[in-house]
A and B are shown apart, each in its own frame.
Chain A
Amino acid sequence: MQKMPKRYYAFFTLPTAIAFAISFIIPFIFGLYLSFTKFTTVTDSTWVGFQNYVRAFTDDQNFINAGLFTIEFAVVSVILINIVAFALAYLLTRPVRARNALRTVFFMPNLIGGIVLGYVWLLLINGVLINFGFDITYDPKYGFWGLILVTNWQMAGYMMVIYIAAILAISSEVVEAAKIDGANAWQMLSRITIPLVMPAFTICTFLTVSNSFKLFDQNLSLTAGAPGRATAMLALDIFYTFYGQNGYEGVGQAKAVMFFLFVSAIVLLQLRASRSREVEA
């Protein structure tokens, strides 16, 4: 690599660094500070120590319930999205008619915003449930599966594209060698394709795990937490705490900080786990 004169470093990195600092780092530190204070507007706060963190758990059960619901949702949706996405990718890398058109079709839901998707699916789901005399707010399980359905529909196409790229990148030599050795279709899939798309698997699980944990738009528009707060996920619970309850702004902020730590821990663990399974061809 050609050596770059040192004096240009600042020129190229500073704009990005400043933008990053203004939009991410400063608000993050400020948010961290606010979680230890009591405030109504963010410019006027008084220090209260760890009180907000205690109140997040002791004043009501909402945060814990939302956490459990989120974990449940994340587990199911990560598994389902990846299975669906991989299955689609596997099918659409075979010689199928209208392959490219189908790839586009499956990818398209990803281009629609979460709020719109939520409302559209709310109409669809209620349109079906109305025949049984109730709607999506009737039982948390409808909200749960509704959310799973919407996120699958939205994210599977995106993950599919990543898997397709990975499958197409498998070297034809390996595939040919396996064929000559007499591998059947199942062996091809389980011994060749799946191990070799592990890097894509890492990316896809990372994306689905983090997306599932911080899901907000779809949650707000599909169920808004109804019935009660039974289908409110962590992000929505934080939103309700911050804006819905007077005097709970600091608690909402504390929840947000804990949410951040929690999601980072999960994502780190997940990365470590799936990275170790990657192989080189």
Chain B
Amino acid sequence: MHKRLFAVFSILLAAAFVLSACATQTPAAPAPTEAPAQPAATSAPAATSAPAAQSCEVYYLNFKPEVADVYAKIADEYKAETGNTLKVVTAAAGTYEQTLKSEMAKSDAPTLFQINGPVGYQNWKDYTADLKDTDLYKHLSDPNLAVKDGDGVFGIPYVVEGYGIIYNDAILSKYFAMPDAKAKSIDEVNTFDKLKAVVEDMQAKKGDLGIKGVFSSTSLKTGEDWRWQTHLMDLPVFYEWRDNNISLAAAGADNFKFQYADQFKNLFDLYLKNSTTAPGLLGSKSVDDSMAEFALGQSAMVQNGNWAWGQISGVQGNTVKPEDVKFLPMYMGMSGEEKQSIAVGTENYFSVNKQASPEKQKCAEDFAYWLFSSPKGKSFVTNDLKFIAPFDTFADNEKPTDPLAKEVIRYVSNKDLYNVAWDFVKFPGQAWKNDFGAALLQYAQGKMSWDDVTKLAVTEWPTKYGQ
């Protein structure tokens, strides 16, 4: 008897632990129905088009931890100006999907959230409302940027970003001033061959230049490898689809041969061999490590996007001056790449929760419009969030002024160059990216041949589609 009791007890105990490890939300006893908002604050119909007759609450699940503080200020301002409440919850870096999954299951679910493009839309299409009649969509400078399905518009991009090779102009100028330098100015570096010659020569002279390596660590730690498996990978895929006339709408499970694998390898090898860190140690390096190396002047170049400025300037004891931080396109040996620009696009789309009440949906739409159209909202976007917003409500002098954002704007306005579109929004999904990233790490460590890496990328592409 005693024995049996003990056995039963231990099973229960085990069950408790097992389930708490993978516990989902408790199905929550029918939560108290939403308290009827605030006692209608004295409505202050400011410059907003939204009638603030009835105050309402917006629940926004924020994707960008680096601007979480800004949203707190925005919430205060929004309350003061319209009397509406803005509740912002920020998901920790890399946990947006899981936070969204659990928050959406609550009775007080986010009304405004974001999806990362067509693939994210597939997963959340039961929740994304049609936004084609909203004011925000009408002011989108290029309607093609939105996530669409048939006639409907289900995601509106709210920030345009660009990435490429960020370089430290002070270090490069020092190199160009050397008598036997392979180039005399950055303008000469417009192909992979030239880039390679300069980088390898710089690496050989790293002592004279006062750096540990030309490129920052190629961070390949699990979860820190998105700069390679997503951003770098975007280029070969972009060219493959462009050269085979595959439109982004048609792109999908069947359309990937990795025909520019050699070009990908060109640049990836350059990163690995001319780095601050030995290839065998890259499995422990994070993006933060890479950016810190750049900020401290230990490296001259790092591949990342304009969002990284906050990280660079935030490093203690950083030696990089704002005017020295510039972008270079990612040359990898494509024909005609002299005209290639940096990669500008977006993977941040606002979506409104279809399953919320119509009033709440309206509140969410009104807030999004307020943020990107009212003077106060726009000032937050430009000066605090530092977003390059893709809406025609912004005048030319209302663009962010940090050095990398200015670089993105400079590249976009250079009409001689062609943009590298963010085709990675049509990549199979996180499972494929993770596997590919892990393969890249093993390649860097010398434990996997390049042929096996490309084979894995190609064979998994269709099977992991949409996962």
Per the bound structure, the CA–CA distance linking A246 and B465 in Å amounts to 10
Query: How far apart are B185's CB and chain A's nearest CB, in angstroms?
Result: 37
Query: Secondary structure at chain B's binding surface: helix, strand, loop or mixed?
Result: helix
Asked if B35 is at the interface (CB within 8 A of a chain A CB), the reply is no
Q: Given A227-B441, A238-B22, decide whether A246 and B17 contact each other with a Cβ distance below 8 A.
A: no
**B123 contact set on A, CB distance < 8 A:** 40, 246-247
B119 within 8 A of A: yes
Asked whether A228 and B281 contact (CB < 8 A) given A134-B445, A256-B22, the answer is no
- A244 to B223 alpha-carbon distance, docked (Å): 11
* Cβ-defined contact, A249 with B101, below 8 A: yes
Between-chain CB contacts (< 8 Å), 7 pairs: A27-B19, A34-B24, A41-B104, A44-B126, A126-B284, A224-B222, A246-B122
Q: Assess whether A214 is interfacial by the CB under 8 Å rule.
A: yes
A196 and B442 alpha carbons, distance in the complex (Å): 50
**Complex Cα spacing A122 to B23, Å:** 27
Interface membership of B15, Cβ < 8 A: yes
User: Distance in Å from the Cβ of B149 to the closest Cβ of chain A?
Assistant: 16
Whether, in the assembled complex, A28 has its beta carbon less than 8 Å from a beta carbon of chain B, the answer is: yes
Which single member of A214, A238, A244, A268 contacts B17 (CB below 8 Å)? A214
Tell whether, in the assembled complex, residue B466 and residue A260 are in contact, meaning their CB atoms are under 8 Å apart.
Answer: no
Partner of B11, one of A228, A243, A268: A268
Q: Quick check: A244 and B21 within 8 Å, CB to CB? A: no
Whether B359 sits at the interface, judged by CB under 8 Å, is no
Q: Which B residues, 275 to 295, have Cβ-Cβ distances below 8 Å to chain A?
A: 278, 280-281, 283-284
Q: Is the interface of A mostly helix, strand, loop or mixed?
A: helix
Chain B residues near A (Cβ < 8 Å): 3, 6-7, 10-19, 21-27, 97-98, 101-102, 104-105, 119-120, 122-124, 126-127, 220-223, 278, 280-281, 283-284, 355, 429-431, 434-435, 438-439, 441-442, 445, 447, 463, 466-467
Q: Give the contact-size bracket for chain A.
A: 35 or more
Given A134-B280, A239-B22, A244-B430, residue A271 in contact with residue B14 (CB < 8 A): no
Cβ-closest chain A residue relative to B12? A24
Q: Mark A132-155, 1 if CB is under 8 A from B, else 0.
A: 011111110000000000000000
**Is A235 among interface residues, defined by CB-CB distance under 8 A?**
yes
With a cutoff of 8 Å between Cβ atoms, the chain A residues found around residue B221 in the complex are 137, 224, 226
The closest CB in chain A to the CB of B460 belongs to: A60
How far is it, in angstroms, between the C-alpha of A24 and the C-alpha of B3 when the chains are bound? 23
Minimum CB–CB distance from A244 to chain B (whole Å) comes to 5
**Which 3 pairs across A and B sit closest by C-beta, in order of nearness?**
A137-B283, A134-B280, A228-B438
Q: Is A174 an interface residue (CB 8 A)?
A: no
Q: A23-B26, A41-B101, A244-B431 are in contact. List 16 more A-B contacts (CB 8 A).
A: A31-B23, A40-B127, A41-B105, A133-B281, A134-B445, A137-B222, A138-B447, A226-B221, A227-B438, A227-B445, A228-B435, A243-B101, A244-B430, A245-B429, A245-B430, A247-B467
Give chain A residues whose Cβ lies under 8 Å from the Cβ of B16: 24
Chain B residues contacting A42 (CB-CB under 8 Å) are 24-25, 27, 101, 105
Cβ-defined partner of B283 (8 Å) among A31, A138, A206, A271: A138
Which residue from B12, B19, B222 sits with its C-beta under 8 Å from A31?
B19
The answer to whether A133 touches B119, judged by C-beta atoms less than 8 angstroms apart, is no
The residues of B that contact A136 with a CB separation of less than 8 Å are 283-284
